[in-house]
């Protein structure tokens, strides 16, 4: 039996003051947003941290071995430690809220949530991170929740003793495979590239599982099979060749991420990938709006980089607010 | 050995400080304890040590058959969270509420102690118009960060409406049930065995499904 862990989380959806002009509203509570919150609180800014969850993509990571200060920590434990540090300060935290629009209102900014709530801010940090990229093949959309999963850490326990395929051989794909080795019967890995692009430590762990894991590199997914639930997947060698059908009950899609920048579309400058363009002070194209972490065009998406960017964004927001007050 | 370490115990003490009412946790297990039955019982007992407003009553599923029937307990481990005066709001946990679901258990205790669902005025009004009983089953895994949102919303609806009962079900402990409902992603919410959806929905969408299930 697995060792049980017990996580204490904040109340969902508390403490959001509508039409109260906050000094700073931080959208997103991953490593960037949480770090920004600590820095903002220490500058005594009247701050709201608003997010769907606390931890962001960190929550979806099993093991983190490259955040300084910890040789090894699980994503949820690291998120819990971040959160604990944020909760030491008297800022407002609204969890379970999705910000869907951001606009200018007079000298301030107006944010609206999916539930129709309105928040006013003198400055904003967008730290909304990224989400899974879909494959866009036939059968995928129809079978989401019926064997197609974008959250290996969430759904892996449901595939005990089953045959599954992981699409993607980068770090997130390899992490999903490592999680599944303990649970599933057989694991196929499919990637369009000719080999692993994951950290060697992960690849070694997968190699240690032997024949349980079978790779199909330089292959692409043609379609996902099944009516009520996933029954298989059809792949073929890249550049042509015989199609191969794999009988699987689960398809874990780990082919990278797209930025959660919808709320900024038409308001902030985005690059071709949809990331928010920032300068080295985390300033966006609109004065008073800053951005940090994976949603920005800063290269390398890492917890430690996002955290550092979050700190910088909060200090830049502070400097901006001081300048406004004169 | 204690399940909760000192650090978590301190956090729990803070969370449960000043509960406005008494709470009773009915724990259902059996003589030869099932997978996680012992842990579920210990967890409830450890919580009761951290707050003088929490009482634990342990029942054997077969030995206390009548009690199990009253609360609709058909599988173990199970926890029923009762409020002041043993009031049953319809809050159930099947499987051990560990991992992310530990926070759902703490929230359920706070809700049962206060009797306040914490739902928005709009949701309260909508639920007041519910016609028929609705049984909500929320399937979760303990490693799913989105699941507590669905579980806690279901429990809020149960506290708000006498017609609603809401179960958290840890899918890996009840594979047959998970299979029957085709649980391949979590959270999966099943209402009255006929309405179902995946994902943690916002309050309004969740309540709309609930009203449809109870129509």
Is B184 in CB contact (< 8 Å) with chain A? Answer: yes
Residue contact A145–B3, C-beta within 8 A? no
With beta carbons less than 8 A apart as the criterion, state whether A238 and A212 touch.
Answer: no
Q: What is the pLDDT, as a whole number, of residue A11? A: 53
- Does A280 qualify as catalytic in the annotation? no
| pLDDT, tens digit, 9 for 90 and up, residues B108-124 | 999 999 999 999 899 99
Provide the chain B residues 75-104 that lie in CB contact (below 8 A) with chain A: 96, 98-100, 102-103
Q: Which residues of A touch B15 (CB under 8 A)?
A: 8
Are B105 and B144 members of one domain? no
Short-list A311, A256, A261, CA closest to A282 = A311
pLDDT at A326: 54
Cβ of B184 within 8 Å of Cβ of A229? The answer is yes
Q: Do A250 and B184 touch (CB under 8 A)?
A: yes
Cβ A76–B145 below 8 Å, yes or no? Answer: yes
Residues B83 and B113: beta-carbon distance below 8 Å: yes
- Note whether residue B51 is domain-resident: yes
Instruction: Judge if B109 and B190 occupy the same domain.
Output: no
Using a CB-CB cut-off of 8 Å, the residues of chain B touching A144 are 185, 198
State the Cα angle at A266 between A265 and A267, rounded to 5°. 90
The whole domain housing B178 covers: 121-213
Specify the DSSP class assigned to residue A49.
Answer: E
Is B1 domain-assigned? Answer: no
What's the rounded mean pLDDT across residues A96-113? 94
Q: Are residues B109 and B142 in the same domain?
A: no
Shared domain check, B127 and B61: no
If asked whether residues B98 and B139 sit together in one domain, one would say no
Same domain, B76 and B137: no
From A63, A108, A151, A199, the catalytic residue: A151
Task: Give yes or no for a contact between A203 and A171, defined as CB atoms under 8 angstroms apart.
Answer: no
Rounded to whole angstroms, the Cα distance separating B144 from A177 reads 17
CATH number of the domain where residue B77 is located: 3.40.30.10
Count how many Cα atoms sit within 13 Å of the Cα of residue A116 in the half-sphere of its side chain: 5
Let me know whether B65 and B145 are in one domain: no
B108 and B165 in a single domain? The answer is no
Please report the beta strands in chain B, taking only residues with DSSP state E, as ranges in sequence order.
Answer: 23-29, 54-60, 78-83, 87-94, 134-140, 164-170, 188-191, 195-198
For chain B, the 3-state helix, strand and coil shares in percent, each to the nearest 5, are 40, 25, 35
Per-residue pLDDT tens over the stretch B145-204: 889 989 999 999 999 999 999 999 999 999 999 999 999 999 999 999 889 998 888 888
Residue B144: inside a domain, yes or no? yes
Of B114, B148, B177, the last residue of a domain is B114
Q: Which among B85, B114, B143 is the end of a domain?
A: B114
Catalytic-residue membership of A154 = yes
**Domain co-membership, B50 together with B141:** no
- Do B105 and B165 lie in one domain? The reply is no
The total domain count for chain B is: 2
> What would the mean pLDDT of A83-99 be, rounded to a whole number?
91
Residues B134 and B106 grouped into a single domain: no
| Same structural domain, B187 and B92 | no
Give me the pLDDT at residue B50, please: 96
**Assembly ipTM:** 0.80
Q: Touching check for B29 and chain A: CB below 8 Å?
A: no
A282 is an active site residue: no
- Per the domain annotation, does B164 fall within a domain? yes
Task: Give Cα separations from A287 to A26, A123, A267, A278, B93 (angstroms).
Answer: 15, 9, 11, 11, 49
Q: Is residue B54 part of a domain?
A: yes
Domain termination residue (choose one: B114, B137, B152): B114
Q: Domain for residue B134, yes or no?
A: yes
* pLDDT tens-digit readout, B60-97: 999 999 999 999 999 999 999 999 999 999 999 999 99
What are the tokens at B166?
A: 């809401």
Tens of pLDDT along B124-140?
999 999 999 999 999 99
């Amino acid at each position: 039996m697995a060792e049980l862990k017990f996580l204490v989380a904040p109340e969902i959806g508390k403490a959001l003051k509508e039409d109260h002009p906050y000094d700073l509203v931080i959208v997103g509570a991953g490593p960037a947003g949480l770090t920004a919150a600590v820095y903002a609180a220490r500058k005594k800014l009247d701050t709201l941290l608003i997010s769907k969850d606390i931890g962001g993509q960190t929550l979806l990571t099993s093991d983190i071995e490259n955040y300084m200060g910890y040789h090894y920590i699980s994503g949820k434990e690291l998120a819990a430690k971040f959160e604990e540090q944020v909760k030491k300060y008297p800022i407002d935290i609204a969890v379970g809220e999705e910000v869907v629009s951001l606009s200018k209102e007079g000298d301030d900014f107006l944010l609206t949530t999916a539930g129709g709530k309105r928040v006013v801010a003198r400055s904003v940090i967008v730290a909304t991170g990224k989400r899974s990229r879909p494959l866009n093949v036939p059968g995928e959309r129809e079978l989401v929740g019926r064997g197609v999963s974008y959250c290996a850490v969430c759904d892996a326990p449901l595939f005990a003793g089953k045959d599954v395929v992981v699409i993607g051989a980068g770090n997130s794909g390899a992490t999903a495979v490592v999680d599944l080795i303990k649970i599933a019967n057989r694991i196929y890995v499919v990637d369009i590239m000719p080999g692993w692009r994951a950290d060697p430590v992960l690849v070694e762990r997968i190699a240690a599982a032997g024949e349980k894991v079978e790779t199909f590199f330089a292959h692409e997914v043609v379609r996902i099979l099944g009516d009520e639930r996933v029954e298989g997947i059809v792949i073929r060698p890249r550049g042509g060749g015989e199609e191969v059908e794999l009988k699987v009950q689960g398809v874990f899609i780990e082919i990278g991420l797209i930025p959660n920048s919808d709320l900024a579309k038409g308001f902030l400058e985005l690059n071709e990938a949809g990331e928010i363009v920032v300068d080295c002070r985390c300033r966006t194209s609109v004065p008073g709006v800053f951005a940090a972490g994976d949603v920005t065009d800063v290269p390398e998406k890492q917890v430690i980089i996002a955290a550092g960017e979050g700190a910088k964004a909060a200090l830049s927001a502070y400097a901006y607010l001081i300048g406004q007050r004169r | 050995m204690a399940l909760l370490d000192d650090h978590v115990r301190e956090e729990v003490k803070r969370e449960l400080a000043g509960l406005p009412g008494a709470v009773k946790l009915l724990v259902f297990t059996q003589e030869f304890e099932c997978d996680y039955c012992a842990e579920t019982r210990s967890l409830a007992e450890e919580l009761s040590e951290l707050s003088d407003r929490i009482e634990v009553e342990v029942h054997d599923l077969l030995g206390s058959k009548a009690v199990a029937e009253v609360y609709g307990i058909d599988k173990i481990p199970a926890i029923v969270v009762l409020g002041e005066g043993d009031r049953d709001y319809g809050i159930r946990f099947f499987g051990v509420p560990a991992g992310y679901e530990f926070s759902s258990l703490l929230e359920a205790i706070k809700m049962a102690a206060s009797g306040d669902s914490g739902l928005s005025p709009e949701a309260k009004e909508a639920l007041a118009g519910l016609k028929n009983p609705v049984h909500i089953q929320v399937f979760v895994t303990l490693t799913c960060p989105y699941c507590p949102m669905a579980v806690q919303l279901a429990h809020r609806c149960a506290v708000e409406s006498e017609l609603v009962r809401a179960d958290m079900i840890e899918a890996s402990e009840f594979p047959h049930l998970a299979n029957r409902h085709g649980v391949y992603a979590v959270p999966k919410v099943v209402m009255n065995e006929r309405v179902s959806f995946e994902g943690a929905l916002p309050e309004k969408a969740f309540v709309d499904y609930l009203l449809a299930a109870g129509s």
